[in-house]
Amino acid sequence: MTSTDPNWWRDAVVYQIYPRSFADANNDGTGDVEGMISRLDYLQDLGVTAVWVSPWYPSPMADGGYDVADYCDIDSRFGTLAEADAFVAEAHARGIRVLIDLVPNHSSDAHPAFRAALASAPGSPERAMFHFRDGRGPDGDEPPNNWGSLFGGPAWERVIGPDGPEQWYLHMFAPEQPDWDWANPAVVALFDDVIRFWFDRGVDGLRVDVADGLAKQPGYHDTPIDPATGLGIATFYPGHPWWNQPELDTIQRHWRAIADGYADRHLGERIFVCEANTKPLSALMRFVDPGRMHTTFNFDMLWCEWEAGSLRAMIDRNLIAHAAVGAPTTWVLGNHDSTRVVTRYGKPETGKPFTLDGVTPEWQHRFAEYFFVQPTDNALGRRRARAAALLEFALPGTAYIYQGEELGLPEVEDLPDAVLDDPAFFRTGGRVRGRDGCRVPLPWSGTEQPYGFGADAAPWLPQPPEWAGLSAAAQDGEPDSTLSLYRRALAIRATHPALGDGTLAWGDTYPGTVLYFTREPGFGFLANLSGDAVTLPSGAEVLVASGPLAGDVVPPDTAVWLSLPA
Ligand code: BGC
* More confident call, 75 vs 150: 75
Whole-number Å distance, alpha carbon 336 to ligand 1 midpoint, is: 9
Span 498-512, mean pLDDT?
94
Q: Are 284 and 276 in contact (CB under 8 A)?
A: yes
Residue nearest to atom 1 of ligand 1 (CA): 209
Q: Are 79 and 90 in contact (CB under 8 A)?
A: no
Q: Report pTM.
A: 0.96
Task: Give the DSSP letter string of 483-552.
Answer: HHHHHHHHHHHHH-TTSSSS--EE--SS-TTEEEEEETTTEEEEEE-SSS-EEPPTT-EEEEESS--BTT
Determine whether the shortest distance from the Cβ of 406 to ligand 1 is under 6 A.
no
Q: Are 280 and 247 in contact (CB under 8 A)?
A: no
Among 266-270, 372-376, 460-464, the minimum mean pLDDT is found in: 372-376
Output the pLDDT for position 197.
Answer: 98
Rounded-to-integer distance, Cα 255 and Cα 288, Å: 13
Helix (H, G, I), strand (E, B) or coil at 257: helix
Q: What DSSP designation does 353 have?
A: -
Sequence-ordered list of residues with C-beta below 8 angstroms from that of 101, at least 6 positions apart, any chain = 52, 53, 54, 55, 66, 206, 207, 209
Counting from 1 in the atom list of ligand 1, the atom nearest the Cα of 337 is: 9
Pocket test for ligand 1, best of 59, 106, 177, 209 (most atoms within 8 A of CB): 209
Please name the amino acid found at residue 341: V
Output the pLDDT for position 503.
Answer: 96
Whole-number Å distance, alpha carbon 209 to ligand 1 midpoint, is: 6
Rounded-to-integer distance, Cα 278 and Cα 295, Å: 13
Counting from 1 in the atom list of ligand 1, the atom nearest the Cα of 435 is: 9
Confidence band, pLDDT 50/70/90 cuts, at residue 374: low
Sequence-ordered list of residues with C-beta below 8 angstroms from that of 414, at least 6 positions apart, any chain = 464
Sequence-ordered list of residues with C-beta below 8 angstroms from that of 417, at least 6 positions apart, any chain = 425, 430
Rounded-to-integer distance, Cα 354 and Cα 370, Å: 6
Rounded-to-integer distance, Cα 49 and Cα 397, Å: 13
- Pick from 207, 331, 323: which is nearest to 274 by CA? 207
Instruction: Give burial (CB, 10 Å; 0-12/13-18/19+) of 317.
Output: middle
Sequence-ordered list of residues with C-beta below 8 angstroms from that of 168, at least 6 positions apart, any chain = 132, 133, 134, 135, 140, 143, 144, 156, 157, 158, 159
Confidence band, pLDDT 50/70/90 cuts, at residue 4: confident
Whole-number Å distance, alpha carbon 150 to ligand 1 midpoint, is: 10
Output the pLDDT for position 362.
Answer: 58
Residue nearest to atom 12 of ligand 1 (CA): 66
Output the pLDDT for position 238.
Answer: 83
Q: What DSSP designation does 223 have?
A: P
Whole-number Å distance, alpha carbon 28 to ligand 1 midpoint, is: 25
Report how far apart, in Å, the C-alpha atoms of 403 and of each of 26, 79, 230, 459 are.
20, 20, 37, 16
Whether residue 220 has pLDDT greater than 90 = yes
Rounded-to-integer distance, Cα 445 and Cα 452, Å: 5
Taking phi over 0 as left and psi of -120 to 50 as alpha, with beta for the rest, 230 belongs to left
Output the pLDDT for position 431.
Answer: 74
Whole-number Å distance, alpha carbon 325 to ligand 1 midpoint, is: 27
Pick the CATH number of 112-170 from 3.10.290.10, 3.30.300.30, 3.40.228.10, 3.90.400.10: 3.90.400.10
- Pick from 182, 178, 161, 160: which is nearest to 169 by CA? 178
Residue nearest to atom 5 of ligand 1 (CA): 66
> What does DSSP say about strands 330-331 and 97-102: parallel, antiparallel, or unpaired?
unpaired
Whole-number Å distance, alpha carbon 43 to ligand 1 midpoint, is: 24
Whole-number Å distance, alpha carbon 54 to ligand 1 midpoint, is: 10
Helix (H, G, I), strand (E, B) or coil at 265: helix
Whether residue 355 has pLDDT greater than 80 = no
Q: Are 335 and 302 in contact (CB under 8 A)?
A: yes
Instruction: Give burial (CB, 10 Å; 0-12/13-18/19+) of 274.
Output: buried
Determine whether the shortest distance from the Cβ of 66 to ligand 1 is under 6 A.
yes
Span 385-402, mean pLDDT?
98
Whole-number Å distance, alpha carbon 69 to ligand 1 midpoint, is: 15
Element of type H or E holding 133: strand 132-133
Output the pLDDT for position 364.
Answer: 58
Whole-number Å distance, alpha carbon 93 to ligand 1 midpoint, is: 30
> How is the chain split into domains, by residue range?
8-106+185-486, 112-170, 502-563
Output the pLDDT for position 358.
Answer: 44
Span 155-182, mean pLDDT?
96
Span 546-553, mean pLDDT?
96
Q: Which CATH architecture has domain 8-106+185-486?
A: Alpha-Beta Barrel (3.20)
Q: How many CB atoms lie within 10 A of CB 520?
A: 12
* More confident call, 417 vs 353: 417
Determine whether the shortest distance from the Cβ of 275 to ligand 1 is under 6 A.
yes
Give every strand in the sheet of 558-563, ordered side by side. Answer: 505-506, 514-519, 523-528, 558-563, 541-545
Determine whether the shortest distance from the Cβ of 436 to ligand 1 is under 6 A.
no
* Residues paired with 35 in a beta bridge: none
Q: What is the pLDDT of residues 62-81, one digit of tens each?
A: 999 999 999 999 999 999 99
Output the pLDDT for position 477.
Answer: 96
Pocket test for ligand 1, best of 105, 109, 207, 210 (most atoms within 8 A of CB): 210
Whole-number Å distance, alpha carbon 474 to ligand 1 midpoint, is: 32
Pocket test for ligand 1, best of 66, 236, 303 (most atoms within 8 A of CB): 66
Q: Are 109 and 63 in contact (CB under 8 A)?
A: no
Whether residue 372 has pLDDT greater than 90 = no
Confidence band, pLDDT 50/70/90 cuts, at residue 266: low
Whole-number Å distance, alpha carbon 406 to ligand 1 midpoint, is: 23
415-453 burial by CB neighbour count: b if 16+ within 10 A, else e?
A: beeeebbbbbbbbbeebbbbbbbbbbbbbbebeebbbbb
For residue 521, say if its preceding peptide bond is cis, omega within 30 degrees of 0.
Answer: yes
Q: How many CB atoms lie within 10 A of CB 164?
A: 7
Rounded-to-integer distance, Cα 515 and Cα 307, Å: 10
Q: What is the pLDDT of residues 397-438, one digit of tens each?
A: 999 999 999 999 999 988 999 999 998 888 877 777 889 999
Counting from 1 in the atom list of ligand 1, the atom nearest the Cα of 423 is: 10
Q: Are 494 and 485 in contact (CB under 8 A)?
A: no
Q: Are 220 and 241 in contact (CB under 8 A)?
A: yes
Output the pLDDT for position 230.
Answer: 86
Pocket test for ligand 1, best of 63, 428, 436 (most atoms within 8 A of CB): 63
Determine whether the shortest distance from the Cβ of 68 to ligand 1 is under 6 A.
no
Whether residue 496 has pLDDT greater than 80 = yes
Q: Which CATH class is domain 502-563?
A: mainly beta
Rounded-to-integer distance, Cα 5 and Cα 27, Å: 38
